[in-house]
Structure 1
């Protein structure tokens, strides 16, 4: 599940790609974690279930990433593993992670929310899916 972050003015972009839409959304979620800390430092100790529904795939990506940000903020968690299932414009996912340990995770930023800037969910010419958004940090 390839992922990457990309610079965007004062914010940071997150991007996931994959052979399926599910993989691309999972990659975008992992990129979200990478915007905060090194995902390799986060252990998959605890699983949470997340369900979202939106009118289209781009808004579904926004809802998915914002649901993760909300859980990170309210439960003081970081996530490192994701299983995503998308059916139309409904998403069901499991996210595994652990409580924030500042000394070990060394968070560099706090994600505040996802903007609509550079928001894109598309199947590319090579058949790979791309899911990207910009996160306010």
Structure 2
């Protein structure tokens, strides 16, 4: 599941791609972790379940990423593994990670929320799915 970040003025974009919408959402979530730290340093030892529903898949992506940000902030967690199942505009997902260890994870930024700027969820001409948004840091 490819994940990447992209620069955006004072904020940073996150992008996930995959052969399915589920994979693209998981990639965007991994890119969200990459905004904060190197995901390879996060051990997936505890899980959190997230369910969501939205009017469309773009708003579902915003809700999904904001739900992760909320759990990171309130439970002091970082995530490195994701399983996402999307049916229509309903999401059921599990995120695995661990408690933040500042010395080991060396967080570089704090994600505050997802904006609607450059928000895009679509199937591309090559059949791959794209899920991207901009994160306020």
Q: Does 1:113 align with 2:113?
A: yes
Aligned residue runs from structure 1 range 11-26, under 5 A: 11-26=11-26
SS across alignment from 1:109 = coil
Query: Which residue number in structure 2 is paired with residue 49 of structure 1?
Result: 49
Q: Which runs of 4+ in 1 moved over 3 A?
A: none
User: Structure 1: which 5+ residue stretches go unaligned?
Assistant: none
Tell me how far 1:133 sits from its aligned partner: 0.1
SS in 2 for 1:35: helix
Is 2:3 the partner of 1:3?
yes
How many matched pairs?
137
Q: Which residue of 1 aligns with 2:76?
A: 76
Q: Distance in 2 between matches of 1:113 and 1:2?
A: 22
Cα-to-partner distance string for 1:42-89 (whole Å, 9 max, x where unaligned): 000100100010000000000000000000000000000000000000
Cα distance in 2 between the residues matched to 1:102 and 1:45: 17
Tell me the TM-score normalized by structure 1. Answer: 1.00
Q: Give the superposed CA RMSD.
A: 0.2
- Structure 2's unaligned 5+ residue stretches are none
Distance 2:6 2:86 in 1: 25
